Amino acid sequence: MDVIREFDPWGDPLCTCPKKYGFNPYTGCPHRCIYCYITSYIPRAFECRAKKNLIIRVERDLKRVDKRRIISMSNSSDPYPPMEAKLKLTRACLELFSREGCRVQVVTKSDLVTRDIDMLLQLSSVVSFTITTLKRNLSRKLEPLAPPPKRRLKAMQKLSSADVPVSLRLDPIIPGLNDAGIDRIIEAVASVGAKHVTSSTFKPRPDGWHRFQRVFPETATKLTPLYFEQGKRHHNSWYLPREVRLELMKRIREACAAHGLTFAPCREGLQELTTGASCDGSHLISRKGSS
């Protein structure tokens, strides 16, 4: 297919997501998160632009999709960049998905998603918000142009109150930087209606590591031996030692259990820690719109 494509077509053994599609209405993402991996494979990755003839291409792909699979949007760019307020391409795609009875997972850092509550209620859907810290000063450095964490929390509450299921992506966890805030984040999202948490440790690629070094030189110095001496490389990413990742993921699972949330680690090789029916939170999607 063209714009709606197989999610994880390479079959990474560390990916435990159910079979689904990936779909990005836009190319590139304006948030400029320093940890972002898309700069390793998307030219001008931080310059967001609309895909040409998007609606026609989506309509064509929808004739071929397996309706049993979820469409995940977006994994390489936020489906709600600022230009979406005017262009409404994501909304137009949601309308198409609703018409065809597709199930959809929206992954975003933007509170603009609340504009489309009416469409999300027509669909079988779940909205997954990425929150990495509740500290505004830290979020400005980590995710310079993304909406502040408080706005994301308010959006989660608004969606949940409207009966649109929401989950949290606590991703990435960076030791010595945002791991101290794990409990507060879990408590905050539980209070606004989140039901599931997916989490992952920082797995830098060369380009992301260079950005990280520039913005957080002291933390990078401390983490260098953990990643590049004691850790391991998987494909194009560097992983922390297993015992470090295990301890972090256990902490998150315990915090989730304390607040009645299910939990799953993402691409950590730690499936034994999963307490939810899916790793990505897609089990929260109802089947009212499926065919």
- 4-284 is a CATH 3.80.30.30 domain: yes
- In this prediction the pTM is 0.95
Structure confidence at residue 13 (pLDDT): 87
pLDDT score of 289:
40
- Residue ranges per domain, the chain? 4-284
Q: What is the pLDDT of residue 288?
A: 54
Query: Where do runs of H (alpha helix) occur along 162-262?
Result: 182-191, 206-215, 217-228, 242-258
What sign results for the dihedral spanned by CA atoms 93, 54, 20, 33? negative
Residue 52: count other Cβ atoms within 10 Å of its Cβ: 8
Q: What is the reported pLDDT for 290? A: 38
Q: Are 279 and 269 in contact (CB under 8 A)?
A: no
State the pLDDT at residue 10: 67
Query: Backbone dihedral region of 191: left (phi > 0), alpha (psi from -120 to 50 degrees) or beta?
Result: alpha
The per-residue pLDDT for 287 is: 63
Extract the residue ranges of the chain whose pLDDT is less than 50.
Answer: 289-291
